Amino acid sequence: MRSYSSVLCLWFLLGVASGTKGAAEEPFFSGPQPAEKLPQFAARYVIGEQAGQSFDLVQMAAGKPLIIIFVHERTRPSIALTRFVTQYATRQENKGLTAGVVFLTSDETETAEWLNRIRNSPALPQGVPLGISPDGVEGPGAYGLNREASITVLVGNQNQVTANFAIVQPSVTADAPAIAAAIAQVMGRDEKPDLDSLGISQERAPAEMSDAEMSGFRKLLQPVIAKQASLDKVKEAAKAVEDRAAQDKAFRNHLGTVARRIIDAGKLENYGTPAAQDFLRKWSQEFGSEMQSPPRP
């Protein structure tokens, strides 16, 4: 009898990677919700003269408007969304808004080295405090952040949350305007920033996949990780995946994200044959690298 365990695992992972939570559409939470308190917490600078020093964004805001971006996962979409949101936020600084970015990581040394390596890259958010949480991948304990999120964005005022964005699969074109609108609202302005005002062009926005394309993605990847597939069948299916990846940037990005998530979750042995696992490792390295070649705005 054919085993479907790896296929079911893949479909579950793809649901997480694509931002869906299943047919029941269960609510997805990360961090304090609107009207809840924003506790003070420490982060650590890792760039420039302040490297090693602690800072507290809630304390810095002193009860005034605030946006905190927790980056759980370093991917091109998550960094691109962070960059565009912070660009908008920095334009509000002289009006009393405090903004900052905190990276959550299990390896502070590696993340600090990465941040310093790309410190002058246009990919990295500029003009706001950037730091690492000393509390690891879970982040500040009082915040109840969800590790399944790629980014958690909290907008607040008077030490309370006014808007919470728990994002599994970041989309610059969908998420940046919504977050910017929440920032505008907390600043007392009734406006809905569009892509143009945020400096985002449709042509240069990070490639994203539609629901129909996600379905096609699953159909192509499923034969690769079939447990009973022969070596020839795995190679044939993998070639079809790579041919599509060579032609489609959104497909390529998503392939890298999924492969890396499988490996990071320690579940690689659940997916197909050793040959299939070799392909997943390859795609994780080729397409899922954590911003080693930063995207340009």
pLDDT digits (tens, 9 = 90+) for 214-229: 778 888 999 999 989 9
pLDDT band at 289 (very low <50, low <70, confident <90, very high): low
Angle at CA 173, nearest 5°, toward 168 and 179? 70
Domain ranges of the chain: 5-18+209-287, 43-186
Return the pLDDT at 5.
43
Please provide the size of the chain in residues.
Answer: 297
Mean pLDDT of the chain: 83
Token pair of 89, please?
């936020």
* Residue 216: count of CB within 10 angstroms of its CB: 14
pTM of the model: 0.67
Q: Are 234 and 224 in contact (CB under 8 A)?
A: yes
Residues 6 or more apart whose CB falls under 8 angstroms from that of 230 comprise none
- Does residue 16 have a pLDDT over 80? no
Place of tokens 């982060």: 43
Going along the chain, which residue ranges are E strands? 43-45, 54-55, 66-71, 98-103, 130-132, 151-157, 160-167
Beta bridge partners of 98: 66
- Contact of 272 with 283, CB cutoff 8 Å: no
Which residue, chain included where needed, has tokens 């479909």?
A: 11
Please count the CA atoms within 13 angstroms of the CA of 257 that sit on its side-chain side. 27
Check pLDDT > 80 for residue 231: yes
The DSSP result for 5-33, as a single string, is HHHHHHHHHHHHHTT--TTTT-----SPP
Q: What pLDDT is attached to residue 70?
A: 98
- CA 164 to CA 161: how far, in whole Å? 7
Q: How does residue 117 score in pLDDT terms, banded at 50, 70 and 90?
A: confident
- DSSP lists the bridge partners of residue 130 as 101
Q: Is the pLDDT of residue 167 over 50?
A: yes
Confidence grade of residue 296 (pLDDT, cut at 50, 70, 90)? very low
Share of the chain above pLDDT 70, in %: 83
Cα 165 to Cα 153: distance, rounded to the nearest angstrom = 5
The topology (CATH level 3) of 43-186 is Glutaredoxin (3.40.30)
- CB count within 10 Å of CB 161 equals 19
For the chain, give the longest Cα–Cα distance: 66
Cα–Cα distance between 253 and 276 in angstroms, integer? Answer: 19
Mean pLDDT, rounded, for 32-53 = 94
